[in-house]
């Protein structure tokens, strides 16, 4: 598949890429396994951060850096880094302040802000630490950012990634690769078949350990130790918001934290541990400086990624748009856009590929997309000036009978825009029509239209003390009735907290 959408990004798509990468690594390690079997017993080492014996046979410290460097370039290719020198400098500075207080200050750390609206942070072996644009938007002060980074550094110093990687190899996790559905990694991933060895499954014990280490590191670095608990609380509230957004059909697909919610137990534990730290009232929080740094930060998908705008998916940079079925969720992936119905499990994937100029859409569909397999009757029509060929076939998704619709739209002379629909038997007529309407709504955006479509941004303002939360929230550009909750989540406010005069708050504008 041609990576025309190389600047789209989402965890979901990267999970698939990560899985492929991990499987490649697994295969290599498997070959080595036979020769190093004798090392098994001898290879439990004592970790300097946790003081525990560890089983990390397959990834000695020296090779962590190599594995990390290799994965790092893949992650950058998938997500892109936020192009904001000030923001990058801040994250690197906060990280650099923590590193000297860790047990492995010799590790060369690399801090990266990934350009994705997902709220996430993770670390790779070899000192690669990532926070997302979405996470920076959710945090409310420098100490919370420090807590997240310190937690991830905790995973590195405790060598959780290396430990998990070794366990995965030993138990064969990830080697049960599944049937290829719809010929798409995105589809596999959406149907819950994807997994990632790095990003998804630290154990509860490892999470607690990283919290404990993180609190210790930030306290020693001069930050408020309660920041870990306050950020975990923000995550917990954000998960509630995401669930409600999903319920209203306006949300994006579940992120890591909505599938792995922060538990109340974890918040209580970090609160108790903060109370045991030796710190004074000079401990850094820095609400104001941090918020000022976020002024005008893109919120949600960026123009380079394409975003949802008044019921349409619009991509100002690439110059196309199409109508979204109501009540569906969208996952804007690196290589494709996935559109899903929570009710009927109807699924659509949209992407674009380069084709030979001059080829008819029917020829492309029959000979290239379906590779000469029986396409049956192909319908030819024109969609907003674009010649389009549509094939309908009976097939199965996840073992269940479904109608598969393949639509090839001639977007440019050498580019096809493709819709791949999976409509389970039992889907309502209205849903089927909405899915087909998506195909027939595809259009090229004019330069003027593209210029008018702006992504959402964070704006920081000082409260005059005259406004209440619901009034301040009402102006945000969402029509799902969740603005007050969204404002509270964004600003770390509980359901009863009021605005304080002279304090800075974040809001969203478009």
Residue 440 tokens read as 């027939």
- The stretch near Zn ion (CB under 5 A) out of 25-33, 127-135, 199-207, 494-502 is 199-207
**Cross-strand bridge partners of residue 423:** 403
CB of 146 to Zn ion, least distance (A): 15
Please report how close the Cβ of residue 410 comes to Zn ion at its closest, in angstroms. 46
Least spacing, CB of residue 155 vs Zn ion, in Å: 6
Q: Convert 51-68 into a string of H (helix), E (strand) and C (coil).
A: CCEEECCCCCHHHHHHHH
Q: With CB under 5 A as the contact rule, which of the stretches 41-49, 133-141, 207-215, 317-325 interacts with Zn ion?
A: 207-215
Residue span 153-192 as binding mask against Zn ion, x where in contact by CB under 5 A, dash where not: ----------------------------------------
Q: Is 493 in the site for Zn ion (CB under 5 A)?
A: no
Nearer to Zn ion, 266 or 335 (CB): 266
- Tell me which stretch binds Zn ion (CB under 5 A): 26-34, 177-185, 200-208, 330-338: 200-208
Is residue 506 a contact partner of residue 460, using CB atoms and an 8 Å limit?
Answer: yes
Q: How far is 16 from 175, CA to CA, in rounded Å?
A: 14
Q: Which stretch binds Zn ion (CB under 5 A): 61-69, 206-214, 414-422, 502-510?
A: 206-214
- Reading phi first (left if > 0) and then psi (alpha if -120 to 50, else beta), residue 300 is in left
Which H or E element spans position 159?
A: none
Check residue 284 and report its DSSP letter: B
Tell me which DSSP letter residue 43 carries.
G
**Alpha carbons 126 and 109: distance in angstroms, whole number:** 7
Q: Which stretch binds Zn ion (CB under 5 A): 55-63, 189-197, 203-211, 454-462?
A: 203-211
Cβ closest to Zn ion, residue 22 vs residue 443: 22
| Whether 351 contacts 418, CB under 8 Å | yes
Q: Smallest Cα–Cα separation from 140: which of 457, 460, 455?
A: 460
How far is the first Cα of the chain from the last one, in angstroms, to the nearest whole number?
33
Candidates 409, 376, 372, 371; CA nearest to 392 is 376
With CB under 5 A, what is the number of residues at the site for Zn ion? 2
Nearer to Zn ion, 64 or 207 (CB): 207
Q: Which tokens belong to 181? A: 């559905």
Site residues (CB under 5 A) for Zn ion, limited to 218-237: none
What is the helix (H) or strand (E) element at residue 227, kind and residue range?
helix 227-248
What is Dmax (Cα atoms) for the chain? Answer: 75
Q: CB-wise, 231 or 313, nearer to Zn ion?
A: 231
The residue among 198 and 411 lying less far from Zn ion, judged by its C-beta, is: 198
Instruction: Round to whole Å and give the CA distance between 329 and 485.
Output: 20
Position among 75, 148, 156, 210 found at the interface with Zn ion (CB under 5 A): 210
Choice between 207 and 431, CB closer to Zn ion = 207
Q: Least distance from C-beta 209 to Zn ion, angstroms?
A: 9
Give the neighbor-by-neighbor strand order of the sheet with 443-444. Answer: 307-309, 312-315, 320-323, 443-444
Q: State the nearest-atom distance from the C-beta of 151 to Zn ion, in Å.
A: 6
Question: Which residue sits closest to Zn ion, CB atoms considered?
Answer: 210
Segment contacting Zn ion (CB under 5 A): 90-98, 204-212, 292-300, 438-446? 204-212
Chain residues that interact with Zn ion, rule: CB under 5 A: 207, 210
């Amino acid at each position: 598949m041609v990576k025309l959408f190389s600047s789209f990004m989402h965890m979901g798509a990267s999970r698939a890429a990560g899985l492929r990468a991990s499987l490649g690594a697994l295969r290599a390690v498997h070959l080595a396994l036979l020769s190093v079997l004798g090392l098994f017993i001898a290879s439990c080492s004592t970790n300097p951060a946790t003081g525990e014996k560890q089983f990390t046979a397959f990834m000695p410290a020296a090779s962590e850096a190599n594995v990390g460097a290799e994965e790092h370039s893949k992650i950058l290719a998938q997500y892109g880094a936020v192009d904001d020198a000030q923001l990058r400098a801040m994250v690197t500075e906060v990280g650099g302040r923590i590193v000297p207080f860790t047990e492995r200050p010799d590790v060369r750390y690399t801090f990266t802000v990934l350009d994705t609206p997902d709220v996430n942070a993770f670390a790779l072996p070899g000192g690669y630490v990532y926070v997302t644009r979405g996470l920076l938007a959710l945090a409310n002060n420098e100490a919370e950012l420090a807590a997240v980074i310190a937690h991830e550094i905790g995973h590195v110093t405790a060598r959780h990634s290396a430990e998990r990687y070794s366990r995965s190899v030993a138990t064969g996790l990830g080697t049960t690769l599944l049937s290829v559905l719809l010929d798409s990694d995105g589809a596999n991933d959406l149907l819950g078949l994807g997994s990632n060895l790095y990003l998804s499954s630290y154990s509860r014990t490892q999470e607690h350990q990283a919290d404990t280490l993180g609190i210790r590191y930030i306290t020693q670095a001069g930050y408020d130790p309660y920041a870990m608990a306050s950020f975990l609380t923000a995550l917990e509230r954000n998960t509630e918001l995401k669930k409600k957004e999903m319920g209203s059909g306006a949300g994006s697909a579940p992120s890591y934290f909505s599938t792995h919610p922060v538990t109340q137990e974890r918040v209580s534990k970090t609160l108790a541990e903060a109370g045991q730290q030796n710190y004074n009232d000079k401990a850094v929080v820095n609400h104001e400086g941090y918020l000022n740094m976020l002024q005008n930060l893109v919120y949600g998908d960026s123009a380079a990624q394409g975003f949802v705008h008044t019921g349409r998916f619009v991509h100002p940079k690439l110059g196309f748009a199409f109508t979204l079925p109501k009540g569906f969720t969208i996952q804007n992936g690196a290589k494709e856009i996935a559109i899903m119905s929570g009710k009927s499990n109807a699924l659509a994937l949209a992407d674009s590929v380069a084709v030979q100029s001059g080829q008819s859409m029917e020829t492309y569909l029959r000979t290239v997309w379906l590779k000469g397999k029986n396409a049956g009757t192909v319908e030819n029509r024109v969609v907003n000036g674009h010649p389009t060929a549509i094939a309908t076939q009976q097939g199965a998704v996840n073992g269940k009978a479904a109608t598969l619709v393949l639509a090839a739209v001639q977007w440019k002379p050498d580019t096809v825009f493709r819709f791949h629909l999976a409509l389970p038997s039992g889907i309502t007529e209205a849903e089927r029509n909405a899915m087909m309407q998506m195909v027939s709504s595809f259009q090229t955006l004019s330069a003027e239209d593209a210029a008018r479509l702006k992504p959402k941004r964070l704006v920081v303002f000082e409260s005059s003390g005259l406004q209440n939360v619901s009034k301040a929230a009402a102006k945000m550009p969402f029509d799902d009735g969740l603005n007050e909750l969204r404002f509270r989540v964004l600003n770390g406010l509980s359901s009863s907290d009021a605005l304080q005069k002279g304090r800075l708050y974040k809001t969203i504008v478009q």
